[in-house]
Chain A
């Protein structure tokens, strides 16, 4: 077998492996896991809310789609089916941190310990501003 032929086989094998990898990745790209994700920004819920109410387009470009960490006072805790919504600062116009059902199962004892009036730090993906600033995929940090 000539050297050339070995090279061709090697290139084909590597190309095939790359294509298979890309194919696999298309269907198995892991979903966002906030537990392992580092927050891009750390700020208070009041500051976040203020940034969205004073300049929404700027806040959108900074925070939307990003994992951020916010600290604030719990105004209300609502359980809807198996999801938990924690409102910070104000129940009507505050920061709502949604603990999705898959995340809630992993944090049962932490959720039980939450009380209105307490300070809490939550990490989650910021979705933007719609009456409230919304975060989902939330993890209770402390």
Chain B
């Protein structure tokens, strides 16, 4: 009965959805971050980011399950999850934003479109405004988002003990590469 009700809601929602709304989805986005100090290099990556672009409204959302980040060093991965980002308490990092120059992007024409996505990033339960500069690459029915930016862990209430301060950079360099398919 509950399912039937849900199905009815879904069907009616589909029926009222504007037919021309164009959406893109990816469930296998690549995200990596790194920190470089003379003492230690840290590198982690995941291929499990989930993201959606609504090409009609310009809305973009993005989510990562923190535990999916893989490090070269297993102990580092354990410390990252347990001591720093507390992934059991805050299992997700999310970003919600809007394409600032939507009119300049033609999703029907192949090409590289520089853009800024203005939005809010939530990491470790703390939300901060963040503008991400990058490129939207249109190639047929696929769109690829490529961006590089940096994150300051302290901004998100992530405490780095004095003992390891020398080993972890103040800013993490983040690199994102997501290939979306038309929905």
* A residues lining the B interface (CB < 8 Å): 25-27, 29-32, 60-61, 64-65, 80, 83, 85, 96, 98, 125-132, 134, 136
Tell me which residues across on chain A come within 8 A of B63, comparing CB atoms.
130-131
Tell me which residues across on chain A come within 8 A of B73, comparing CB atoms.
26-27, 29
Give the docked Cα–Cα distance between A26 and B73 (Å).
Answer: 8
Tell me which residues across on chain B come within 8 A of A83, comparing CB atoms.
28, 47
Tell me which residues across on chain B come within 8 A of A80, comparing CB atoms.
28, 47
Using CB atoms, name the residue of chain B closest to A59.
B91
What are the 5 A-B residue pairs with the smallest beta carbon separation, nearest first?
A: A127-B65, A128-B91, A29-B75, A29-B74, A128-B65
B27 in contact with A64 (CB, 8 Å) = no
* B residues lining the A interface (CB < 8 Å): 27-28, 47-48, 50, 63-68, 73-75, 78, 81, 87-88, 91-92
A65 in contact with B67 (CB, 8 Å) = yes
| 18 chain-A/chain-B pairs, Cβ below 8 angstroms | A25-B75, A26-B73, A27-B73, A29-B74, A64-B65, A64-B91, A65-B88, A83-B47, A96-B27, A126-B67, A127-B68, A127-B91, A128-B65, A129-B65, A130-B64, A131-B50, A131-B63, A136-B48
Partner of A130 from B74, B78, B87, B92 at Cβ < 8 Å: B92
Tell me which residues across on chain A come within 8 A of B75, comparing CB atoms.
25-27, 29
Partner of A32 from B74, B91, B92 at Cβ < 8 Å: B74
Q: Decide yes or no: A130 and B81 within 8 Å by CB, A64-B91, A80-B28, A85-B28 being known contacts.
A: no
Give the docked Cα–Cα distance between A136 and B65 (Å).
Answer: 11
Give the docked Cα–Cα distance between A65 and B65 (Å).
Answer: 10
Partner of A64 from B48, B74, B78, B88 at Cβ < 8 Å: B88
Nearest-Cβ distance from residue A121 to partner chain B, whole angstroms: 21
